[in-house]
């Protein structure tokens, strides 16, 4: 009789073993009840700030649709950390959703509005879940794959591969739920890189829209084929890298005091834009090779790049001997962020102003009326626009400007007035320019020390002088945008006779081997550099 029951019992044992094995390989029963559970982790874009809401929402295992069972908590500190526990779930699958303000890695500041990120997880297998940009992008794609018959585990693995592939990055060896932008390692570097890339120069509204469109497209076909947006992101990243601005991003993130080091995310931002431009890989094996950006949608189409053994560099890149750290200035009027640099006791913008000043009297403009010149080199300002003659931001030169060769147009000009500059900054006077030249060693060496140009400039102080082009009414555009001869308005009268009878604005020209103060005839439009109050 014993032998009669032995076979069925053995079969039962084998069936149970095979069921356990299936569970580990991702073909497990979709749902199972769960008793007491707890989960903790960090929520990061940059980190969500204290008080942000954390919700654990139970999901049906067959569809990953919410069942209505919800548990809530809040972010405990500005590190983005949370902890939440509960008892009694009909399914082990849950969505962890975080909503609140976050720290923007690019600007270093708290976001201007709230953001929602989420992650899908198996609470029967995890007590630690990090919510981040990659877990959020993964979610809708995982839901679709599950409804098509894949297990949650297999769906997550496929979605992870697809996301990294579409961002021109290699497959991850870690689950997205384990990643942390403040920890070392390539996988964490990929997370930080993608977070920075998608943020770009967008505010929270623009970023949310970009992220939503990406997630929807990814859910449908497992890739991100929005060529226009991808190229815009690539152009931004290339510009940031060529101008050494990712160092500012690092300083912003480290300035939060959460970690004293970051993973090498720049390696992966570089991979993304190089792939978008069709440049291929850059390594020691092809160091010195040159190739061209073949993306027709890029504003840098046709630009030549050379492999330095690690990354691609533009052959048009201006040289600089500056090894210091740049600051940043975000203009509250339009959200534009500029590099800034301290030289001696002064703090200067290290880029030309790009605020679009428009009044009935006068307007700023782009060299040759091309927006790409404004994007790359800043805007040109007639004198009336430079000094804010309409009084939009102050009364430093109300009614100044006009047009043509008119006597005494600058009679109301107040030195070091704000003009068109951002709040807290102003149009430098002749004396402030002279102080700058003295700090860098005198007028004889100032041009070389301040201009960023391959043929003669060394840009030793990070001032990065370059031209936005010159414009003369009646004669068309003069000069070349981005050339090494730079002319800027000052806030000082030009009074060569000392009589007060010939008052015109003074401009400063920084040329290949000299700096020179000249009369600023009103028919011209020049670039503007602002200095901090």
Q: Where are the domains of the chain?
A: 327-532
Tokens describing residue 252: 């912003």
d(CA 106, CA 121): 29
d(CA 294, CA 299): 11
Residues whose CB falls within 8 Å of the CB of residue 395, separated by 6 or more in sequence, listed in order: none
Question: What's this model's pTM, rounded to 2 decimal places?
Answer: 0.63
User: pLDDT per position in the chain (533 positions), as tens?
Assistant: 333 333 333 333 333 333 333 333 344 446 789 999 999 999 999 999 999 999 999 999 889 999 999 999 999 999 999 999 999 899 999 999 999 999 999 989 999 999 999 999 999 999 999 999 999 999 999 999 999 999 999 999 999 999 999 999 988 889 999 999 999 999 999 999 999 999 999 999 999 999 999 999 999 999 999 999 999 999 999 988 877 778 889 988 999 999 999 999 999 999 999 999 999 999 889 888 999 999 999 988 888 899 988 889 888 655 567 777 888 899 999 989 888 999 999 999 998 999 999 998 888 988 888 887 888 788 999 888 998 988 899 887 777 765 433 344 555 677 888 999 999 999 999 999 999 999 999 888 888 788 865 435 678 888 888 766 555 444 455 555 545 568 888 888 776 666 555 556 788 877 656 788 887 777 788 889 999 99
Quote the distance between the C-alpha of residue 469 and its chain's center. Answer: 27
Distances (CA, A) of 34 to 26, 38, 91, 384: 18, 11, 6, 71
25 three-class SS: coil
Q: Look-up: residue for tokens 């592939």? A: 165
d(CA 139, CA 124): 18
d(CA 57, CA 68): 7
d(CA 315, CA 381): 29
């Amino acid at each position: 009789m014993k032998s009669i029951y032995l076979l069925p019992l053995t079969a039962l044992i084998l069936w149970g073993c095979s069921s356990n094995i299936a569970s580990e390989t991702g073909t497990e029963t979709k749902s199972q009840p769960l008793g007491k559970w707890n989960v903790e982790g960090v929520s990061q874009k940059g980190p969500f700030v204290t008080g942000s809401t954390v919700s654990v929402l139970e999901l049906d295992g067959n569809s990953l649709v919410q069942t209505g069972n919800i548990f809530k908590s809040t972010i405990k500190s500005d590190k983005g950390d949370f902890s939440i526990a509960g008892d009694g779930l009909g399914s082990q699958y849950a969505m962890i959703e975080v909503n609140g303000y976050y720290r923007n890695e690019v600007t270093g500041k708290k976001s201007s509005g709230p953001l929602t990120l989420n992650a899908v997880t198996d609470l029967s297998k995890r007590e630690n879940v990090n919510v981040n940009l990659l877990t959020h992008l993964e979610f809708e794609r995982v839901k679709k794959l599950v409804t098509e018959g894949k297990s949650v585990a297999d769906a997550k693995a496929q979605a992870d591969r697809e996301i990294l592939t579409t961002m021109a990055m290699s497959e991850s060896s870690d689950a997205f739920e384990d990643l942390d932008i403040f920890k070392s390692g390539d996988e964490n570097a990929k997370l930080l890189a993608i977070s920075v890339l998608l943020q770009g120069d967008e505010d929270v509204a623009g970023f949310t829209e970009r992220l939503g469109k990406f997630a929807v497209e990814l859910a449908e076909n497992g890739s991100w084929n929005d060529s226009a947006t991808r190229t815009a992101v690539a152009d931004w990243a290339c510009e940031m890298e060529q101008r050494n601005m990712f160092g500012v991003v690092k300083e912003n993130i480290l300035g939060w005091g959460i970690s004293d080091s970051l993973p090498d995310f720049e390696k992966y931002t570089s991979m993304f834009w190089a792939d978008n431009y069709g440049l291929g890989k850059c390594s020691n094996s092809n160091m010195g090779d040159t190739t061209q950006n073949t993306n027709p949608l890029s504003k840098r189409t046709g630009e030549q790049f050379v492999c330095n053994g690690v990354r691609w560099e533009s052959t048009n890149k201006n040289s600089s001997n500056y090894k210091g750290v740049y600051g940043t200035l975000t203009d509250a009027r339009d959200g534009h962020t500029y590099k800034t640099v301290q030289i001696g006791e002064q703090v200067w913008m290290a880029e030309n102003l790009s605020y679009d000043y428009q009044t009935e009297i006068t307007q700023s403009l782009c060299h040759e009326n091309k927006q790409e010149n404004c994007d790359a080199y800043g805007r040109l300002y007639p004198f009336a626009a430079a000094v804010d003659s309409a009084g939009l931001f102050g009364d430093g030169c109300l009614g100044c400007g006009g047009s043509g060769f008119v006597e005494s147009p600058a009679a109301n000009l107040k030195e070091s007035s704000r003009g068109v500059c951002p709040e807290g900054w102003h149009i430098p006077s002749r004396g402030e320019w002279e102080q700058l030249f003295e700090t860098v060693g005198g007028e004889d060496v100032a041009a070389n020390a301040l201009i960023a140009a391959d043929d003669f400039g060394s840009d030793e102080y990070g001032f990065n002088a370059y031209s936005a082009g010159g414009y003369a009414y009646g004669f068309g555009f003069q000069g070349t945008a981005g050339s090494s001869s730079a002319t800027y308005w000052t806030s000082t009268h030009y009074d060569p006779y000392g009589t007060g009878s010939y008052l015109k604005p003074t401009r400063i020209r920084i040329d290949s081997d000299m700096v020179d103060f000249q009369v600023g005839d009103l028919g011209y439009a020049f670039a503007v550099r602002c200095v901090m109050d």
